[in-house]
A and B are shown apart, each in its own frame.
Chain A
């Protein structure tokens, strides 16, 4: 090792494709699994949450109208860029989660593979989940899956990268946009991921990442009139989960309740199908 003084990074939010500091000017200390200081992360506020929801709404029109082929390629591109940063992600996950070399590598590899898996779904789920319906009359009738809209998600607290990727990929692959609150104590893998997202042709606003305390930020997302669904996967406090579900009821949001699945296992389509709406179209048949 030489004596060069390292250039340290300022960790910021990711909103609308840009990297702002928290509007509140606040930060909080992030420590590794052994309680050693790593960095100061932005402590997201109500205003940040609203800005992120606005950015996600602005991004929705374009992303939901993009071709399935295009969305698949963008997600695949994210996987490609992650692969190039594999060593950095392994180091980040190791510091955040205190895993050994092999386990951290497995987590990062699984995260990349998961993105590739979901990327491949982009132009297939409509074929699997959509159909024509043999109605009893002279009508052509078909049902297709459409994105729910803007989704707010609370990322898993423990699985800082694999859990995060496993939550956001099935949301965005179908054309939704997302505001995700990263793991509070382990935000750095998520922040590294935002640098990948910013350089992987993902349009601004499709994924917005906030760091901070879900108990402070999430209620503003749960009650936000322009958020259509909320994924509470990473909420560990039952009272908070209940409060958020109550807030979400005010605008009839779809609510995915807290869960702690084994993220290393191959997922089914449950997460992808949760954030879609079936649209049924009728047209008469006649000569």
Chain B
């Protein structure tokens, strides 16, 4: 049975997008010294939304200097109580302007408004609210009395959750007393630039947050800048490795949140309908542009056929199309480049002999789209079972015993997340114990919360974001601080 839906688009009138944007340095928008710009595009329509500035070396220098001065003169000497109040203000402002952020995020990123409205933006506000409360309680963070901030943090974030990743980076850094230079991904700068306006409305002291836009080259300048004390990066494992190389032999600290190839493991005693919802949430949430996506489905052999049938039935009800439509489940792929990468990996699955099934949905004429895709008959050697696809593509493998499930799940250089579906409590705990991954979702998937630490094992990176553990990414014990000042470590 097919349901017809009338279009239900969210109004974009709530957002006013400027034709061009400067860089946010020392509390104000300034023109890039090099004068170069690039376009940001709505991936659902290919419409140009705005001209974005490309920061060059002197812009990066200015941003770092501004962050350093704000650190030395204001933010590191301000009481935790007052830092907290600025962060609470930011949380409240994000809530007040939530719909505006949601619409802008959907326009610039392509994700469904249902997700930007109900997940990205509320979680971003919650992140500031949670970390605000830490600012005057850092002696309870587990790093001993009088823990110290690191200084100026350079933060580079990806395009899949532009505002949320900004919140994950900026909220803990500021709560711990650091100042920041943040670069959003080049295809999704707009919500970060709107956030700069929030900083102004909150009367955040100039220089505490600097937002500079640009592509990989601007990112490299941040990574290599000697005036920066800490780099926090979320993105691809390849870039993460090159950042780790660039920081070798320096005193600069590093945390990395990189790729994943999570196993979502379903046992024969799992409630299939709930598991199917979890599988869909796991890989088709945000078009699969999720580092912790459950991109490898491991089904116990006895229920494989039944589950795949149920999954296919469910996927036929997913609605792909206008991201601003409130009924849309699957939005646009963020860029042509990403779509090409997904298509290339889908082709590799075809070539390797895996069996492809594509959800029968009509793709809009304009923009970049990928219908939900499932591969069965996948082996562990296939590229689609080993490489991060970062798209709505699921690879299905089977197993017979819990031991085999663990062996297959852990057979990857990544270790970001994993899912377990079973009604048996002791098995959940045993599996959770055996899985070498930083986040384990049992009978659920892709849940996030500011109190819940997030981050990877192995090549998925190091350091945590969120929770009490996340604070150590921006804080050091008084002893470490003294050692660093002496240049000993």
Contacts and interface: CB of A to CB of B under 8 A. Distances in A.
Given A252-B244, A261-B488, A278 B237 contact: no
A251 B249 contact: no
Contacts of A258: 489
Contacts of B477: 268, 270
A259 B443 contact: no
A70 interface: no
Contacts of A278: 438, 453, 455, 464, 467, 469
Contacts of A241: 249
Contact of B480 (A228, A270, A284): A270
Contacts of B241: 249-250, 252
Contact of A252 (B428, B451, B461, B483): B461
Contacts of B438: 277-280
Nearest to A242: B249
B480 A141 contact: no
Contacts of B440: 279-282
B173 to A, nearest CB: 19
Contacts of A141: 449, 451-452
Interface string A266-286: 001010010001111111100
Contact of A280 (B256, B454, B459, B480): B454
A243 B256 CA distance: 20
Contacts of A277: 438, 457, 462
Interface string B171-204: 0000000000000000000000000000000000
Contacts of A283: 428, 442-444
Given A280-B438, A282-B442, A283-B444, A133 B452 contact: yes
A143 B453 contact: yes
Interface string B448-489: 010111110111111010011100100001011001000011
B366 interface: no
Given A136-B449, A139-B447, A281-B432, A228 B458 contact: yes
B144 interface: yes
B108 to A, nearest CB: 26
A280 B144 CA distance: 23
Given A128-B142, A141-B449, A270-B479, A252 B458 contact: yes
A136 B442 CA distance: 17
Contacts of A131: 467-468
Contacts of A228: 458
Interface string A117-157: 00000000000110101111101010100101100000000
A257 B247 CA distance: 11
Contacts of B454: 280
Contacts of A246: 245, 248-249
The SS class assigned to the A binding surface is mixed
Contact of B469 (A143, A146, A251, A270): A143
A81 B142 CA distance: 33
Contacts of B144: 268
Interface string A75-107: 000000000000000000000000000000000
Nearest to B126: A136
Given A252-B458, A278-B469, A259 B489 contact: yes
A197 interface: no
B237 A133 contact: no
A251 B479 contact: no
A281 B479 CA distance: 32
A236 B443 CA distance: 50
Contacts of B258: 252
A125 B126 CA distance: 29
A245 interface: yes
Interface string B432-448: 10001111111110010
A135 B459 CA distance: 27
A199 interface: no
A210 interface: no
Interface in B224-241: 237, 240-241
B413 interface: yes
Contacts of B468: 131
Nearest to B254: A255
Interface residues of A, number: 45
Interface in B103-150: 126, 142, 144
Contacts of A133: 449, 451-453, 467
Nearest to B241: A249
B14 to A, nearest CB: 25
A31 interface: no
Nearest to A145: B469
Among the interface residues A149, A242, A252, A270, which one has the most CB atoms of the partner chain B within 10 A? A252
A251 B248 contact: no
A236 B486 CA distance: 16
A250 B413 CA distance: 11
Nearest to B414: A252
A282 B462 contact: no
Contacts of A268: 144, 477, 479
A238 interface: yes
A254 interface: yes
Contacts of A245: 244-245, 247-249
Among the interface residues A136, A228, A251, A281, which one has the most CB atoms of the partner chain B within 10 A? A281
A268 B480 CA distance: 10
B209 to A, nearest CB: 25
Contact of B444 (A149, A238, A248, A282): A282
Nearest to A136: B449
Contact of A261 (B245, B452, B469, B483): B483
A260 interface: yes
Interface string B395-425: 0000000000000000001000000000000
Contact of B240 (A139, A148, A149, A252): A252
Contacts of A259: 483, 488-489
Among the interface residues B126, B432, B464, which one has the most CB atoms of the partner chain A within 10 A? B432
Contacts of A239: 249
Contact of B452 (A135, A238, A257, A260): A135
A40 to B, nearest CB: 34
**Ordered nearest first, which 4 A-B pairs have the shortest CB separation?**
A242-B249, A245-B248, A249-B244, A135-B449
Given A149-B436, A246-B249, A268-B144, 18 more contacts: A129-B142, A135-B447, A136-B451, A242-B248, A245-B247, A252-B461, A254-B462, A257-B251, A259-B488, A268-B479, A277-B462, A278-B467, A279-B438, A279-B439, A280-B438, A280-B439, A283-B428, A283-B442
Interface of B: 126, 142, 144, 237, 240-242, 244-245, 247-249, 251, 256, 258, 413, 428, 432, 436-444, 447, 449, 451-455, 457-462, 464, 467-469, 472, 477, 479-480, 483, 488-489
17 contacts: A129-B142, A149-B436, A228-B458, A239-B249, A245-B248, A246-B245, A251-B459, A252-B460, A252-B461, A261-B483, A268-B477, A273-B472, A279-B437, A280-B440, A280-B452, A280-B453, A283-B428
